[in-house]
Structure 1
């Protein structure tokens, strides 16, 4: 790998002049010399050592993406299509702007606090955090922070910008549709009634209040936060089902697990029980039957988070909005269609 000294020798200038051009300190350097040095830098493939940027009090070009997950994963968090997809898009947009991504995920919030405080990052994207803990990260590092799907109440003096969904509308749209399909018993299913899932359940309740006919009922079912508990819940839901029952899972992954469970138990979907999901992950259109769900634009969510964070980093001004809410849409497929 080429060094500053080698570039200086080829350009016939001092190493100080080359260093000044690399760091943008070009007031005393002629345009011709700048052009010559920049051409040599490109020609030899010079890469500045990251440690030198920190010593020179420059930006580290590092963006931390931290995930405070709560459910248990069979393989790893990146095996979940939602997290894998959104992290992939974040990395793509960060890289295009000349930044680097550092990923850290854990259930232990204190470990995340220690990580962000211990690294010289320019900003943080926090996924699945409470607003309170996002604000604590900001207070620890005093650097820009954008959250995705933050939950809880925002403080009046919050510095946090959150990218979320109109989750209540999603819950409303799905339950309204299930009622129109003639389902009498709708069970809203999630790991627990918390965070964005709670907002989706609030929308479901509103749809019942506004659209339900006599005899149509809604119930929330807490599935548990690991597969064994969810499996026991699926068994209970299938065994105790009544005619005209639909299961509305607030995650496509849970809905797909339930469809597989029903197939194993010889329970036909949707003929004997309807199944719907939320997110419209890529697998939703490949299940048998294909999954009716609420679609969110994960790519737009990632793009917006990176766009706001980098503008804040580079311009030094906080984004004027504290809440950016993206729309969701109902995707009708075969898993709830009744004959």
Structure 2
């Protein structure tokens, strides 16, 4: 077998990728095209070989023939949030393996900016399809988009004809997080992160799950323990926890609506000389990487971001390449409870 070429970009062939990955050219083609079932282990080997060789599928001629740019856009509210940074790390390699570049934009949750991305003027888009995680828009806004734009929506919206939605079951996930705390014998479980404005869909779904867990456990919700916050960041978690600790009857457990909220809450608890989890147990949501290395390590709700990223790319490219206004699909990725030191102790 001739030596495989290691290249910084361009020049590698599909057969080079197959040789490096130890698979057949057909398998490489299936991974690149996303057309056939390939085991996760095999897919990972092929994508690693693609990245090492700088292989680019020959999609240029096809894109030119169909008037495409060979680019997809991924738009998120915040790039400084670990969850979205880690999600992009799943999306970009998958898009590259399919022969597409990724344009990235941050909206800061600005509804006008998000709306402008969906309102196409003829020939004005620099991308073939859009993967959007909206924050400022509600369901009605999505319904008013340009129907010719291939669109995949992430987060807590619903699929509609012409676009797909990919997310997790927020109600079930929040119920699992709260049930974990109640199952440890905690009876004053606070929730930090409720949002009551029209855009706070994710927060309201998590509050719904929080309430369901209490109902199933036969524990009455103390409404004063549900703390609204404008964002899911560390400062909001810290300030929400300070507010709770100023009470005569502070909580014995906290469900933070993100890992960043939970981390902020832990900081406030420790500053007061209290212990986590002995005095107050804390659980977050998202399973960001730094939660595995914090002190204490953070209990959380984990979702498969690798599967979410792969699904998002494959669905948007299915829409781009078919050119058909196919019915929207509602796709859920699995979640699981990960219990660590912040609820179980060392």
What's the TM-score, normalizing by structure 1? Answer: 0.73
Tell me the equivalent position of 1:208: 214
1:137-159: CA deviations, max 9, x gaps? 333xx1210011143x66xx632
Correspondence 1:310 to 2:312: no
RMSD between aligned alpha carbons? 3.0
Which of 161, 164, 189 is the matching residue for 2:192?
189
Q: Which residue of 1 aligns with 2:90?
A: 89
Indicate how the Cα distance of structure 1 residues 292 and 182 shifts in structure 2: closer, same or farther if over 3 A, else same.
Answer: same
User: Once the 2 structures are TM-superposed, how far is the Cα of residue 186 of structure 1 from its aligned partner?
Assistant: 0.8
Decide whether the 8 Å contact of 1:243 with 1:272 is kept in 2. no
CA distance in 2, matches of 1:229, 1:291: 17
Counterpart of 1:133? 141
Contact persistence 1:65–1:102 (CA under 8 A): yes
Give the match's secondary structure for 2:286: coil
2:323 is equivalent to residue 322 of structure 1: no
Where 1:224 maps in the other structure, the secondary structure is coil
Pair 94,133 (structure 1): closer, same or farther in 2 beyond 3 Å: farther
Equivalent runs, 1:189-338 vs 2, <5 Å: 189-190=192-193, 192-193=195-196, 194-213=200-219, 217=222, 219-225=225-231, 230-240=237-247, 242=249, 245-318=252-325, 320-337=327-344
Counterpart residue number, 2:74: 65
The answer to whether the Cα contact below 8 Å between 1:66 and 1:104 also exists between their aligned partners in 2 is yes
> Are 1:126 and 1:134, in contact at CA under 8 Å, matched by a contact in 2?
no
Q: Distance in 1 between matches of 2:192 and 2:281?
A: 13
Cα gap change, 1:54/1:313 in structure 2, threshold over 3 Å: closer, same or farther? Answer: closer
**1:162 aligned to which of 123, 142, 165:** 165
Separation (CA, whole Å) in 2 of partners of 1:242 and 1:125: 45
2:112 match? 110
CA separation of 1:231 and 1:62: change in aligned 2, threshold 3 A = same
In 2: Cα distance, 1:78 partner to 1:184 partner: 36
2:175 to 165, 172, 177: 172
1:30-72 deviations in whole A, cap 9, x for unaligned? xxxxxxxxxxxxxxx9999x8x9988652111111122x3xxx
Q: Distance in 2 between matches of 1:323 and 1:245?
A: 37
CA contact (8 A) 1:135 1:160 kept: no
The runs of 5 or more residues in structure 2 that have no matched partner are 1-54
Does the C-alpha gap of structure 1 residues 115 and 208 become closer, same or farther in structure 2, counting only changes over 3 Å? closer
Larger radius of gyration: 1
Q: Deviations over 1:179-233 (max 9, x none)?
A: 11111111111152521222122122111111135x7756421123376655432
Q: Give unmatched runs, 5+ long, in structure 1.
A: 1-44, 70-76
Aligned-partner SS, 2:171: helix
1:74-130 CA-to-partner distances (Å, cap 9, x unmatched) read: xxx323110101112111111111111111112333234445633232111001343
